[in-house]
C-alpha cells in the first residue's frame, strides 16, 4: 500500500531490504537491485558454500506492496528532475532517494590475476554475491586445493567453508596476524592455530605477488600450488553513482545525523555510507541505520549518533566476537589466553567500565559482557577477571531482560522472553535473521520461559 512519499532505494541488499520492511504499508517503496536474485542474507553465503544452508534458506522476505525490480542497475541520478536512470535508459521518479549500494571488493595487486583479454584467470574468484558463491561452488568438485587471499573475517569464513568441503586450503595474509583490523597478535595466533587444527594452513606476513601456471607466488619466494584462488582482501564503499551525481563523497557517501547526503532528498545507509569518520561494513550498523531512517521518514525526530562496533565470525568450529575497537582503545587490559584450548578473552577497561572486548573460542559470556559494555557498568575489582575465568564461563548465565542477545537486529533478552515460540520471536523481533550466532541463546531463553 502507499499514500506516503515515493521512496526509491538503489540496491536491494541487506540494508535496503530491512528499510523496505520498516516502510511497507506507509510508503510507496521501490527497490532497484542490480543482482538477478531476490534479496538474500549475504552473511550466510559462506554457509551456502559450506553446504550447511540451501540458497533458498538465506532469502530475505520482501513485504507485499514493495516494488522489487531485479537486474535493475541504476547508472545515473538526475537530481534536478528527481529521477534515476537505469541501464536500459528507463527512468524512475522519486520523492526521496536512498543509496544502499554496499561495497565492492578491491582487486589486490597480484600480477596474472587478470588475463590479457581483460578477464579474470579461471582459477580466480571473488566472494561478495550469490553469483560469486555459485560460481565458486561449481568449481569446488573439480578442485583439490584452494588459496584464500586475505586473512580478515571474510577470508577466515571462506577458508573454513572450503575446508569443510574437503579442499586442502591455505590462507595468505600480508599482515602479521589474522583478523588484524579486529584483534591483537595473540588472538590472531590462536585463531590461526585453531584453523590449523581444522586442517587449514595460514601464512602471515606474506603477500601474494603473482599467479602463474605453477601456482600463487608469495613475496617470500614460496609458490602455493592451487586450483582455486579466492580474493577476500578488502572492499571499499560503492560510491561511483553518488560521486557522478555531485554528492559529497570521501571514503564513503557522506551523511549527517539525519542520514542525509549533501542533497537533503537523498539518503545513504549501510556499507556505502560514511558518518563522521565512520564507514561500517557490518550488518548491525546497516540495520540500525535502516531502522533509524525509516523512523525519520515516518516523521520521528530521531538522530543517528554512529554505531558501536560489533563483529562476529560465522564459521563452523570457530568462534570470535569483538566489541568496540580493542586494538586502538586506551585502557587497562584484563586478559586470559589459553592457546592449548584455543581460547583468548580480553577486556579493555577504563575506570572499571568495559570499553572494548575480544573473545576467541568461548562466547558463553558474550551476552553478559555486551550488557556491561552497553550499560557502562562499573565493575568491581575482581569482576572483570571473574567474567573471563573458565569456571565462571562454564556456569549457566541468566541474562537480565535488557541484555542484548541479537547484535544484528538489536534484540534484548526481555523481548525474546516475551515471545511464545521461536517463530514468533523471529517474526516479531527479527532475532537470528542476521549472522544467526544468537540462535542457541534465543532457543535457551524460550526454553527457560517454558519452564516457568
Ligand atoms: C561473504 C560475506 C560475509 C559477510 N559476513 C558478515 C558477518 O558475518 N557479519 C556482518 O556483520 N557482516 C558480514 N558481511 C558484511 C555484510 O554483508 C554487509 O555489511 C551488508 O550486506 C551491508 O548491507 P548493504 O545493504 O549496505 O550492502 P549489500 O548487502 O552489499 O547490498 C548492496 C546491493 O546494492 C547493489 N548495487 C550496487 N550498486 C547498484 C546500482 N548502481 N544499481 C542497483 N543496485 C546496485 C549490489 O549489487 C548489492 O546487491 C559479510 C559480507 C560478505 C560478502
Which CATH number characterizes residue 433's domain?
1.10.10.1100
- Centre of ligand 1 from the C-alpha of residue 268, in Å: 13
Instruction: Locate the ligand 1 atom nearest the alpha carbon of residue 281 and give its number.
Output: 19
Domain end: 233, 250, 269, which one? 233
Q: To which residue does cell 543482482 refer?
A: 35
Instruction: Name, in order, each residue with C-beta under 8 angstroms of 297's C-beta and a sequence gap of 6 or more.
Output: 4, 5, 7, 23, 27, 96
- Say whether both 155 and 220 belong to one domain: yes
Protein residue with least CA distance to atom 30, ligand 1: 102
Is 76 part of a structural domain of the chain?
Answer: yes
Angstrom distance (rounded) from CA 335 to CA 379:
15
Query: Locate cell 586442517: which residue?
Result: 199
Task: Report how far ligand 1's centroid is from the alpha carbon of 172 (Å).
Answer: 24
Angle between helices 153-164 and 185-197 (to 10 degrees): 10
- Pair 421, 343 in one domain: no
Q: Is 362 among the domain residues?
A: yes
Q: Final residue of a domain: which of 187, 208, 233?
A: 233
β-strand pairing of 168-173 with 215-218: unpaired
Band of residue 390 on the pLDDT scale cut at 50, 70, 90: low
Per residue in 45-75, pLDDT (tens digit) is 999 999 988 888 899 989 999 999 999 999 9
pTM: 0.90
For ligand 1, atom 12: residue with the closest CA: 282
Q: What share of the chain is helix, strand, coil (3-state, %, to 5)?
A: 30, 30, 40
- Cβ-proximal residues to 5 (8 Å cutoff; 6+ apart), any chain: 27, 28, 95, 96, 297
DSSP code of 222? -
Residue 302 domain-assigned (yes or no): no
Residue 317 falls inside a structural domain: no
Q: Which tens digits make up the pLDDT trace of 417-439?
A: 888 888 888 888 888 888 777 88
Would the CB of 290 count as within 6 Å of ligand 1? Answer: no
List the one residue out of 196, 205, 216 whose CA is nearest residue 146. 216
Q: What is the CATH number of the domain that holds 344?
A: 3.30.390
Per-residue pLDDT reduced to its tens digit, 289-345: 999 999 999 999 999 999 888 888 878 888 899 999 998 899 999 999 988 888 899
Cell of 171: 590462507
Domain annotation covers residue 313: no
Query: In this model, does residue 393 exceed pLDDT 80?
Result: no
Is the same domain home to 100 and 13? yes
pLDDT at residue 452, as a whole number: 34
Same domain (yes/no): 438, 450: yes
Residue 42 to residues 17, 20, 235, 259, 429, Cα–Cα distance (Å): 12, 17, 14, 23, 19
| Structural domain total, the chain | 4
Q: Is 242 in the pocket of ligand 1 (CB under 6 A)?
A: no
Rounded CA-CA distance 20/65 in Å is: 10
What is the pairing mode between strands 318-323 and 332-338?
Answer: unpaired
Residue 318 inside a domain? The answer is: no
Which CATH number does the domain housing residue 221 bear? 3.50.50.60
One domain for residues 46 and 28: yes
- Domain around 187: 124-233
The reply to whether ligand 1 has any atom less than 6 angstroms from the CB of 173 is: no
C-alpha to C-alpha distance for 445 and 441, rounded to whole angstroms: 6
What is d(CA 123, CA 120) in angstroms, rounded to the nearest whole number? 8
Most ligand 1 atoms within 8 A of CB, residue of 9, 10, 11 to mutate: 11
Residues 220 and 193 in one domain: yes
CA–CA gap between residue 99 and residue 267 (Å, rounded): 6
| Sheet arrangement for strand 318-323 | 310-315, 318-323, 353-360, 343-350, 332-338
138 and 225 assigned to the same domain: yes
Q: Which of 182, 211, 233 is the last residue of a domain?
A: 233
- Tell me whether strands 124-126 and 228-231 are parallel, antiparallel or unpaired: parallel
73 lines ligand 1 (CB under 6 A): yes
- The answer as to whether 405 is a domain residue is yes
Is the separation of the CB atoms in 319 and 362 below 8 Å? yes
Q: Whose CA is nearest to atom 34 of ligand 1?
A: 11
* Residue 100 and residue 136 in one domain: no
Q: Is 332 inside a domain boundary? A: yes
pLDDT digits (tens, 9 = 90+) for 165-217: 999 999 999 999 999 988 999 999 999 999 999 999 999 999 999 999 999 99
Does 225 lie in the same domain as 244?
no
Tell me the torsion sign for CA atoms 376, 382, 384, 387.
negative
Q: Considering only CA atoms, which of 147, 145, 149, 146 is closest in space to residue 108?
A: 149
Amino acid at each position: 500500500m502507499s499514500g506516503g512519499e515515493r521512496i526509491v532505494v538503489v540496491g536491494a541488499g541487506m540494508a535496503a531490504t530491512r528499510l523496505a520492511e520498516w516502510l511497507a504499508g506507509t510508503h510507496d517503496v521501490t527497490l532497484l537491485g542490480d543482482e538477478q536474485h531476490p534479496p538474500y542474507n549475504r552473511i550466510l553465503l559462506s554457509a551456502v558454500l559450506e553446504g550447511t544452508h540451501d540458497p533458498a534458506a538465506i532469502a530475505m522476505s520482501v513485504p507485499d506492496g514493495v516494488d522489487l525490480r531485479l537486474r535493475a542497475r541504476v547508472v545515473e541520478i538526475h537530481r534536478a528532475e528527481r529521477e534515476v536512470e537505469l541501464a536500459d535508459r528507463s527512468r524512475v521518479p522519486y520523492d526521496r532517494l536512498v543509496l544502499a549500494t554496499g561495497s565492492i571488493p578491491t582487486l589486490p595487486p597480484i600480477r596474472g590475476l587478470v588475463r590479457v583479454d581483460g578477464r579474470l584467470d579461471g582459477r580466480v574468484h571473488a566472494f561478495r554475491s550469490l553469483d560469486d558463491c555459485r560460481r565458486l561452488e561449481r568449481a569446488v568438485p573439480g578442485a583439490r586445493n584452494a588459496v584464500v587471499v586475505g586473512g580478515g573475517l571474510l577470508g577466515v569464513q571462506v577458508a573454513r567453508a572450503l575446508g569443510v568441503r574437503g579442499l586442502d586450503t591455505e590462507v595468505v595474509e600480508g599482515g602479521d596476524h589474522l583478523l588484524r583490523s579486529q584483534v591483537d597478535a595473540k588472538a590472531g595466533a590462536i585463531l590461526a592455530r585453531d584453523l590449523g587444527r581444522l586442517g587449514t594452513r595460514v601464512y602471515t606476513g606474506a603477500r601474494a605477488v603473482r599467479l602463474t601456471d605453477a601456482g600463487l607466488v608469495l613475496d617470500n619466494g614460496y609458490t602455493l600450488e592451487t586450483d582455486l584462488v579466492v580474493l577476500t582482501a578488502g572492499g571499499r564503499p560503492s560510491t561511483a553513482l553518488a560521486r557522478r551525481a555531485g554528492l559529497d563523497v570521501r571514503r564513503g557517501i557522506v551523511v549527517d545525523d539525519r542520514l542525509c547526503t549533501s542533497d537533503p532528498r537523498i539518503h545513504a545507509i549501510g556499507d556505502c555510507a560514511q558518518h563522521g569518520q565512520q564507514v561500517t561494513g557490518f550488518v548491525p550498523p546497516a540495520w540500525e541505520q535502516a531502522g533509524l531512517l525509516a523512523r525519520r521518514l515516518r516523521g520521528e525526530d530521531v538522530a543517528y549518533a554512529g554505531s558501536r562496533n560489533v563483529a562476529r565470525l560465522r564459521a563452523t568450529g570457530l568462534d570470535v566476537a569483538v566489541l568496540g575497537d580493542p586494538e586502538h582503545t586506551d585502557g587497562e587490559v584484563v586478559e586470559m589466553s589459553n592457546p592449548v584450548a584455543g581460547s583468548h578473552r580480553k577486556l579493555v577497561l577504563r575506570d572499571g567500565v568495559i570499553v572494548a572486548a575480544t573473545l576467541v573460542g568461548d562466547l558463553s559470556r558474550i551476552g553478559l559482557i555486551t550488557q556491561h559494555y552497553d550499560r557502562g557498568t562499573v565493575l568491581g575489582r575482581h569482576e572483570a577477571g571473574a567474567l573471563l575465568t573458565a569456571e565462571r564461563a562454564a556456569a549457566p548465565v541468566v541474562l537480565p531482560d535488557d541484555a542484548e542477545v541479537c547484535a544484528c537486529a538489536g534484540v534484548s533478552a526481555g523481548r525474546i522472553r516475551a515471545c511464545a515460540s521461536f517463530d514468533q520471536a523471529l517474526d516479531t523481533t527479527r532475532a537470528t535473521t542476521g549472522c544467526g550466532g544468537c540462535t542457541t541463546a534465543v532457543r535457551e531463553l524460550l526454553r527457560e520461559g517454558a519452564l516457568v
